[in-house]
């Protein structure tokens, strides 16, 4: 058992110091944003809202204590829309998946944090734009509700973005990595942490419905990505 664990650790190519620093940053980030308000999260809300404002033409303005509000479109971009969970997922995925390709492990950790932050800002901006567009469509009724569609699209955008940055970095380092890594980290943070902390007890029905949606979307997009990328891999083998 110990030999298997040692072999698995060796494949990660991660130094103990880098692992400790990564987990410490992740824990600190999770602890911070779990109780943070709009003012404390300005560093992530402001650039996301700016992107949505200038790329999507959405009139978002900051209102103290609430976040960024569009009175025209009747939306509020507050702490729940910060995407801090996604930032954490992306950071963990990049560090643990690709550290073995870099000699300077702590340097890659720092780059991973910056890349995760940039990816979060862009993803949040796109999500806000789509949320406004979908909210104004006459498509609701029956099982399709604004809240349900908002959650569905949000999950698809976040996980799709995670897959995208994973493939880009994979191509950059020039080595095929574990394609299930994005799914593992997405499920571990979005479902694993609440499950371990027993946060689902507050509303078990909602949690398990959300879990089913997250797993379903994650598996579907992972399979689609595998099919899209498979022909290219086959082509390279033939060459």
* pTM for the full predicted model: 0.86
pLDDT of residue 116: 97
Strands in 61-63's sheet, in edge-to-edge order, are 61-63, 67-70, 75-77
pLDDT of residue 149: 76
All residues at 6 or more sequence positions from 189 whose CB lies less than 8 Å from its CB, including other chains: 85, 88, 89, 92
* Per-residue pLDDT tens listing for the chain (239 residues): 545 544 555 566 677 888 899 999 999 998 898 888 889 999 999 999 999 988 888 888 888 888 888 888 888 888 888 889 999 999 999 999 998 888 888 999 999 999 999 999 999 999 988 888 877 766 766 677 767 777 888 899 999 999 999 999 998 988 765 678 999 999 999 988 887 766 667 677 778 888 888 999 999 999 988 888 765 544 444 44
Distance of CA 136 to CAs 61, 196, 207, Å?
Answer: 19, 38, 27
pLDDT of residue 193: 81
Domain ranges of the chain: 2-238
pLDDT of residue 10: 54
CA atoms within 13 A on the CB side of 133: 12
- Alpha-carbon distance 105 to 112, whole Å? 10
- Alpha-carbon distance 197 to 113, whole Å? 25
CB 84 within 8 A of CB 33: yes
Task: Give SS3 for 152.
Answer: helix
């Amino acid at each position: 058992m110990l030999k298997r664990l040692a072999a698995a650790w060796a494949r990660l190519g991660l130094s103990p110091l880098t692992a400790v620093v990564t987990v410490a940053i992740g824990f600190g980030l999770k602890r911070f944003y779990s109780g943070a308000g709009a003012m404390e999260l300005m560093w992530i809300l402001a650039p996301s809202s700016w992107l949505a404002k200038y790329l999507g033409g959405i009139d978002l303005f900051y209102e103290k204590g609430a976040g960024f509000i569009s009175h025209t479109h009747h939306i509020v971009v507050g702490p729940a829309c910060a995407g801090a969970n996604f930032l954490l997922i992306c950071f963990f995925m990049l560090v643990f998946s690709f550290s073995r390709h870099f000699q300077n492990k702590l340097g890659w950790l720092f780059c991973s944090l910056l890349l995760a932050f940039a990816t979060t800002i862009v993803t949040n901006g796109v999500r806000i734009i789509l949320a406004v567009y979908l909210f104004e469509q006459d498509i609701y009724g029956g099982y399709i509700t604004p809240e349900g569609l908002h959650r569905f699209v949000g999950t698809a955008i976040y996980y799709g973005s995670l897959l995208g940055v994973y493939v880009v970095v994979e191509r950059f380092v020039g080595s095929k990595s574990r394609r299930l890594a994005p799914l593992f980290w997405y499920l571990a943070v979005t479902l694993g942490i609440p499950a371990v902390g027993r946060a689902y007890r507050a509303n078990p029905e909602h949690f398990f419905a959300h879990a089913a949606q997250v797993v379903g979307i994650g598996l579907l997009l992972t399979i689609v990505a595998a099919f899209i990328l498979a022909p290219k891999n086959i082509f390279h083998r033939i060459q």
